[in-house]
Structure 1
Amino acid sequence: MAGAMEAALARRSWSKVTDEAPTHDELLRIVAAAGRVADHSSLRPWRLIELRGDDRERLGRAINKANGDKGSSSKPLRAPLLIAVVASYRKSHKVPRWEQEAVASGVAHLLSLLLDEAGWGVIWRTGHYTRSKAVAKLHGLGKNEELLGWLYVGGKPANSRPERRKTVDAREFLSPLP
């Protein structure tokens, strides 16, 4: 197993994946690890929803409804597994809403990193329809929840290489206090 530095440096978004996907049991193990992100007061202000098979068709219909279109969007069919990332805000006097959303985003990012390291192709997709009533209803979101997007997960194509990310020049982003 690669170290965290190697995994982070090797991570890429995979916009095209095969029809293979991790099993539910494989996913449980990875989600348990992703849930270890920094979480002020251990609120666990997140949850994940697993979409496979016909669930993706249902999501396609909800996306089109949100867009005012008929039929079903084919976007959710781009991967065999979609993992909806939900910020599930908790009442707290110590932990503001933005910090809880950061925790949910952290879980999603760590989950994508762990899935990639396990050999799966992953891309985090969003869109204006993540905040639509039709999509929220499909996911069973409560009043205290927001959909942050979906991780599209599938096999990495054998003869395909994802687009390489540009190296980050850390000197541009790290500075002393002015």
Structure 2
Amino acid sequence: MSALEAVRARQSTSKVTDEAPSRDELLKLVAAAGRVADHSSLRPWRLIELRGSDRELLGAAIAKAEGDKSPSTKPLRAPLLIAVVASYRKSEKVPRWEQEAVASGVAHMLSLLLDEAGFGVLWRTGHYTRSKAVAKAHGLGKDEELLGWLYVGGKPSGRRPGRRKPVDARGLVTRMPKPKPQPTPEPKAKKKAKKQKKQ
């Protein structure tokens, strides 16, 4: 399958089975996903894999962030969760927004690779990604931010094609605006003649 075909076939999978890639399989895909464009090769990102009881710890942290008494069951919807972390580096050349774009690029690339490898993937976010309780549960440093989780599992059999409308690229790809024509300045002799005529 070509890269174009893989991208066209990709779709988010909200319900997955208990099948998940092994750590070795995951590391192989992450090594490929890490090849995204990265100004100064800072690698301003890291990933945290959550399996088994890790997901219950996350559920408790989400509940704390939202003020709920019962742990959230959302993290139990997939056998593997991959936390996407923007891990900012000090740089005079590369601003924070660009480093976050790199981390997002890795997540998107990894979701595509997982999908192409036969796994269902859904990128979940939420306001609690910025909560102290959730950050603490993930062991984030002071220069790190959580961008969400890739929920990964097996693709259910008999899955129907997605309902997303095709992208009309014609309305999204434009050209640089042409500069407005500037009036041609009059020659100095002509300006002088006009001034003398008025006098």
Identify whether the pair has TM-score above 0.5, normalized to the shorter chain: yes
- The Cα offsets for residues 60-106 of structure 1, whole Å up to 9 and x where unpaired, read as 00001000111210100010000000000000000000000000000
State the alpha-carbon separation in 2 of the partners of residues 150 and 12 from structure 1.
16
> In the alignment, is the contact (CA less than 8 A) between 1:17 and 1:157 conserved in 2?
yes
The aligned residue for residue 126 of structure 1 is 125
Identical columns (%) = 80
Please state whether the residue corresponding to 1:148 is helix, strand or coil: strand
Return the letter of the residue paired with 1:161: R
The aligned residue for residue 85 of structure 1 is 84
| Count, aligned residues | 177
1:86-125 equivalent positions in 2, closer than 5 A = 86-125=85-124
Return the letter of the residue paired with 1:133: K
> In the alignment, is the contact (CA less than 8 A) between 1:130 and 1:148 conserved in 2?
yes
State the alpha-carbon separation in 1 of the partners of residues 30 and 132 from structure 2.
27
State the alpha-carbon separation in 2 of the partners of residues 163 and 137 from structure 1.
36
Return the letter of the residue paired with 2:89: R
The aligned residue for residue 57 of structure 2 is 58
Is 1:76 matched up with 2:90?
A: no
State the alpha-carbon separation in 2 of the partners of residues 160 and 4 from structure 1.
22
The offset of 1:162, in angstroms, is: 5.1
The offset of 1:23, in angstroms, is: 0.4
Deviates more, 1:2-11 or 1:93-102: 2-11
Deviates more, 1:3-12 or 1:36-45: 3-12
Q: TM-score, normalised by structure 2?
A: 0.88
* 162 and 145 in structure 1: CA distance in 2 versus 1, 3 angstrom threshold: farther
The offset of 1:121, in angstroms, is: 0.1
State the alpha-carbon separation in 1 of the partners of residues 66 and 28 from structure 2.
36
Please state whether the residue corresponding to 2:59 is helix, strand or coil: helix
Q: Which has the higher contact order (CA 8 A, sep 6+)?
A: 1
Q: Which runs of 5+ in 2 are unaligned?
A: 178-199
State the alpha-carbon separation in 1 of the partners of residues 15 and 150 from structure 2.
13
The offset of 1:19, in angstroms, is: 0.5
State the alpha-carbon separation in 1 of the partners of residues 23 and 110 from structure 2.
14
Higher alpha-carbon Rg: 2
The offset of 1:140, in angstroms, is: 0.3
Is 1:43 matched up with 2:38?
A: no
State the alpha-carbon separation in 2 of the partners of residues 50 and 161 from structure 1.
28
Q: TM-score, normalised by structure 1?
A: 0.98
Is 1:138 matched up with 2:132?
A: no
> In the alignment, is the contact (CA less than 8 A) between 1:81 and 1:154 conserved in 2?
yes
Return the letter of the residue paired with 2:126: G
State the alpha-carbon separation in 2 of the partners of residues 134 and 40 from structure 1.
32
Return the letter of the residue paired with 1:34: A
The aligned residue for residue 24 of structure 1 is 23
Return the letter of the residue paired with 1:69: D
Q: C-alpha root-mean-square deviation of aligned residues, in Å?
A: 0.7
